[in-house]
Each structure stands twice: as structure tokens, then as C-alpha cells.
């Protein structure tokens, strides 16, 4: 295990001790749900939460050493949905959900990075499943993490990939989708797992 991974695991343990603990998404959530241990190096640790928790989560992040965030994506002009911060060689990324009539959405108005020399596709929203933030904790190397639900992980990755905002799915991400499908939705056609995606108004 690399020293960066060891520090990420320490960060996960400190996160899990927070009250209320944040919900983890991305690679570490997939490792917790599928393997219960770290299976590969990870570039960052990802949180997912509703906009109503933004101030709380920023306070928690600051207490963990992440005090200065950059906006990498907006849900609307001046309204972030994707934030990133570094603390030494650790990176924490925050995904912010918007709620409308009891439904959670990832709103992608604009992204602030280059994709093959161009601004990435945006102007859409992805509907998240009702269990996104209510899945039971999953353990990774003995640490009980709050994790986004398997369906949320699957649909968030598929929904954004369908718009090309981060380019095509990597082989690693495609493999993780297959594993989630096989472990949690055996026999379900992948077309039935696709999320609802619609243009932003």
C-alpha cells in the first residue's frame, strides 16, 4: 500500500468519525461495496451531499485540512455542484445534489476544465435514485463508511458518460460498472439501469 493510499485511508477514518459522517462516492465507495478493501490507487476521495448540507460539509472539510476549494463545475451561474481542494498530496472532491419536488438531481450547467482542448459538454441534469444517500454503511479495511447507493454510483457514472462531459468511460470505470451490475442487479438489463437525463431549462 502506497503512502498516499495510507493517508487516504487515515482520511477516511477521520471522515467516518464525523457527526454526521459524509457520504462517500466514487472509487472508494465502489471498493467498499464490492471488495471491502482498497483494490487500486485512487486519485482522490469524493463526497456526495444535498445542497442543504453545503455549509456543514465545508466546515467538516476545513477541520480535515481542506480549507480552500476551487469550483470545477456549476449547477447554475455562480452555483457550484463540483468543488475540489488539496491538502498536501491528498485531494477531496465534493459533489453537490439539488433537490426539486423531493427528487435529487446532479445539475451540470458548466464545467471549468478542458476536454481535448475544448470546454466539456454541459447543460443537462441527471436524476438520482431515491436511495442515493440512504444505503447502509459499507466497510473498507475495517472502516465503516457511509456510501452512495450502488444504483446511484452506477447511474451517476453512466449519466455523465452519456453526455461526454469527462470523455469516454475508461476500461477501469467500465469494469466497475459491470461489477456493480453483477453484484447488486443480477439479471437486470443495463438499459433498465440507465438514469433519466434531460436538458437544463
Report the pLDDT value the prediction gives residue 117, as an integer from 0 to 100: 83
**Domains of the chain from N-terminus onward:** 3-199 (3.30.460.40)
Q: Quote the CA–CA distance of 171 and 4 in Å, as a whole number.
A: 23
Phi, psi (rounded to 5 degrees) for 187: 85, -5
188, with CB counted inside 10 A (0-12, 13-18, 19+), is: exposed
Name the residue among 153, 121, 117, 131 with its Cα closest to residue 30.
Answer: 153
Q: Quote the CA–CA distance of 155 and 129 in Å, as a whole number.
A: 8
Half-sphere exposure of residue 26, counting CA atoms within 13 Å on the CB side?
18
Q: What letter does residue 168 receive in the DSSP assignment?
A: S
Segment holding 144, helix H or strand E: strand 143-147
Ranges in the chain, pLDDT < 50:
none
Q: Quote the CA–CA distance of 66 and 194 in Å, as a whole number.
A: 34
Report the pLDDT value the prediction gives residue 116, as an integer from 0 to 100: 83
Q: Quote the CA–CA distance of 133 and 155 in Å, as a whole number.
A: 13
Q: Say which residue the cell 481542506 belongs to.
A: 66
Q: What one-character-per-residue DSSP string does 10-52 give?
A: HHHHHHHTSSSPPEEEHHHHHHHHHTSS--S--S-EEEEEEGG
Amino acid at each position: 500500500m502506497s503512502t498516499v493510499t495510507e493517508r487516504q485511508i487515515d482520511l477516511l477514518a477521520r471522515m467516518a468519525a464525523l457527526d454526521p459522517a459524509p457520504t462517500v462516492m466514487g472509487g472508494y465507495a465502489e471498493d467498499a461495496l464490492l471488495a471491502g478493501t482498497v483494490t487500486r490507487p485512487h486519485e482522490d476521495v469524493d463526497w456526495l451531499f444535498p445542497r442543504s448540507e453545503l455549509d456543514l460539509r465545508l466546515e467538516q472539510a476545513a477541520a480535515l485540512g481542506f480549507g480552500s476549494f476551487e469550483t470545477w463545475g456549476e449547477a447554475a451561474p455562480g452555483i457550484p455542484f463540483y468543488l475540489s481542494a488539496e491538502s498536501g498530496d491528498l485531494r477531496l472532491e465534493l459533489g453537490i445534489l439539488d433537490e426539486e419536488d423531493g427528487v435529487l438531481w446532479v445539475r451540470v450547467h458548466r464545467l471549468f476544465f478542458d476536454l481535448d482542448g475544448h470546454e466539456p459538454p454541459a447543460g443537462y441534469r441527471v436524476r438520482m435514485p431515491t436511495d442515493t444517500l440512504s444505503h447502509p454503511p459499507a466497510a473498507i479495511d475495517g472502516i465503516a463508511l457511509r456510501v452512495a447507493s450502488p444504483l446511484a454510483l452506477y447511474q451517476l457514472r453512466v449519466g455523465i458518460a452519456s453526455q461526454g462531459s469527462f470523455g469516454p468511460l475508461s476500461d477501469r470505470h467500465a469494469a466497475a460498472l459491470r461489477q456493480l451490475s453483477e453484484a447488486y442487479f443480477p439479471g437486470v438489463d443495463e438499459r433498465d439501469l440507465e438514469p433519466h437525463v434531460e436538458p437544463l431549462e
